[in-house]
């Protein structure tokens, strides 16, 4: 049993997202638990998930979990808010390794930090429609009110690299105006891409609003979970150990360009695979 645990400690963590967005979660995992190996899958052929049905997102997520398990991963992180909202419950039902999503960790912090009980959530249409953040936050603190706002244009803006741009500013002002009028004091960035426009969002919301980044909170939760299970890797993997592996379902070049622009780790490479085979 002990031997197994020692072996498991050095096994990789599987992380997946509908595309590039989950790299914001990977970046936090790399920072917070630098000894860990990561196998990442970005479903670049089938992105976006945010406008798809629960059935479809669940089927995609199940295929990806089967793919990641071929690497003998010790745990899986669903780095996509939409997949966490739609598929996590189903995935949890038939898996014998720990699996965590990004929604619960973000919801937990928001419930803790709000002072006036007014929390805003911005996310994809699917995540907002699922009411998942509202559900989790209410379980922790039933005296708060949650205001959801779908912001579908943020994903393409971020993927076009318009992180600091007047166009993004203008669209963000329009999306956020109603949350400003409602006087929220906490805003959850409930989509993988939004931490990349955090400074724009922060500027518009003003100093009095706390921005909650589920990517950061998830990495923290992951660290705590691995620690409590005795599965944290104590030693850095040696050179040539392939510490970070990236897989996609379509065109690896675009993914690599984006990855290298947000993860300042060196040149990352990615391999395209046929996810429909899993
Ligand atoms: N990764 C998705 C999320 O966090 C955003 C992109 C998509 O719609 O697939 O909800």
Omega of the bond prior to 48 within 30 degrees of 0, cis?
yes
3-state secondary structure the chain: CHHHHHHHHCCCEEEEECCCCCHHHHHHHHHHCCCCCEEEEECCCCCCCCCCCHHHHHHHHHHHHHHHHCCCCCEEEECCHHHHHHHHHHHHHCCCCCEEECHHHHHHHHHHHCCCCEEEEEECHHHHHHCHHHHHHHHHCCCCEEEEEECCCHHHHHHCCCCCCHHHHHHHHHHHHHHHHCCCCEEEECCCCHHHHHHHHHHHHCCCCEEECHHHHHHHHHHHHHHHCCCCCCCCCCCCCCCEEEEECCCHHHHHHHHHHHCECECCCEEECCHHHC
Determine phi and psi for 158, rounding to 5 degrees.
-65, -40
Q: What residues are labeled active site?
A: 80, 191
Q: Average per-residue pLDDT in the chain?
A: 95
* Test site for ligand 1: of 123, 192, 196, 217, most ligand atoms within 8 A of the Cβ: 192
> Which residue, 212, 244, 79, 48, is CA-closest to 146?
212
In the numeric block, the tokens 């419950």 are attached to: 89
User: What is the per-residue pLDDT across 12-29, written as a single tens digit (0 to 9) for each?
Assistant: 999 999 999 999 999 999
- pLDDT of 267 reads 65
- Amino acid 117: pLDDT: 97
Predicted confidence (pLDDT) per residue in 43-88, tens digit: 999 999 999 999 999 999 999 999 999 999 999 999 999 999 999 9
Please give the backbone phi and psi of residue 244, each rounded to the nearest 5 degrees, phi first.
-120, 120
* pTM of the predicted structure, to 2 decimals: 0.95
Ligand 1 atom closest to the CA of 18, numbered from 1: 9
Report pLDDT for 138: 97
146-164 pLDDT, tens digit each = 999 999 999 999 989 999 9
Residue of 15, 16, 18 best suited for mutating to test ligand 1, as the one with most atoms within 8 Å of CB: 18
Residue where the block lists tokens 């109603």: 178
The Å distance, Cα 205 to ligand 1 centre, comes to 22
Integer Cα distance of 210 and 127 in angstroms: 20
Angle between helices 23-32 and 252-262 (to 10 degrees): 50
Q: Confirm or reject: Cβ of 63 under 6 Å from ligand 1.
A: no
How many residues are recorded in the chain? Answer: 278
Tens-level pLDDT at each residue, the chain (278 residues): 555 777 899 999 999 999 999 999 999 999 999 999 999 999 999 999 999 999 999 999 999 999 999 999 999 999 999 999 999 999 999 899 999 999 999 999 999 999 999 999 999 999 999 999 999 999 999 999 999 999 999 999 998 999 999 999 999 999 999 999 999 999 999 999 999 999 999 999 999 999 999 999 999 999 999 999 999 998 888 777 789 999 999 999 989 999 998 887 776 789 999 999 99
Give helix 103-113 / helix 214-228 axis angle, nearest 10°: 110
Identify the pLDDT of residue 144. 97
Separation of 84 CA from ligand 1 center, angstroms? 10
Q: Residues 6 or more apart from 226 whose CB is under 8 A from it?
A: 33, 36, 74, 75, 232
């Amino acid at each position: 049993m002990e031997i197994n645990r020692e072996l498991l400690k050095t096994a990789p963590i599987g992380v997946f997202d509908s595309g590039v967005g989950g790299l914001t979660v990977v970046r936090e995992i790399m920072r917070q638990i630098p000894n860990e190996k990561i196998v990442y899958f970005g479903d670049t052929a089938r992105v976006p998930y945010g406008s798809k049905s629960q059935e479809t997102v669940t089927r995609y997520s199940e295929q990806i979990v089967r793919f990641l398990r071929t690497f003998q991963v010790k745990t899986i992180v669903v780095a996509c808010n939409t997949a966490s909202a739609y598929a996590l419950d189903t995935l949890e039902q038939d898996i014998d390794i720990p699996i965590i999503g990004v929604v619960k960790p973000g919801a937990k912090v928001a419930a803790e930090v709000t002072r006036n009980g007014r929390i805003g959530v911005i996310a994809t249409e699917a995540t907002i429609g699922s009411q998942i953040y509202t559900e989790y936050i209410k379980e922790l603190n039933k005296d708060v009110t949650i205001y959801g706002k779908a912001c579908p244009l943020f994903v393409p803006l971020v993927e076009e690299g318009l992180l600091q741009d007047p166009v993004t500013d203008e669209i963000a002002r329009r999306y956020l105006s109603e949350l400003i009028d409602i006087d929220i004091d906490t805003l959850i960035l409930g989509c993988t891409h939004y931490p990349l426009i955090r400074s724009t969002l922060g500027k518009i919301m003003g100093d009095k609003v706390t921005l909650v980044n589920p990517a950061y909170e998830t990495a923290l939760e992951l660290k705590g979970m691995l620690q409590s299970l005795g599965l944290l890797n104590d030693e850095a993997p040696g050179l040539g150990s392939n510490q970070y592996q990236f897989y996609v379902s379509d065109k690896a070049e675009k993914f690599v360009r984006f990855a290298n622009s947000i993860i300042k780790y060196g040149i990352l490479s990615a391999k395209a695979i046929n996810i429909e085979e899993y």
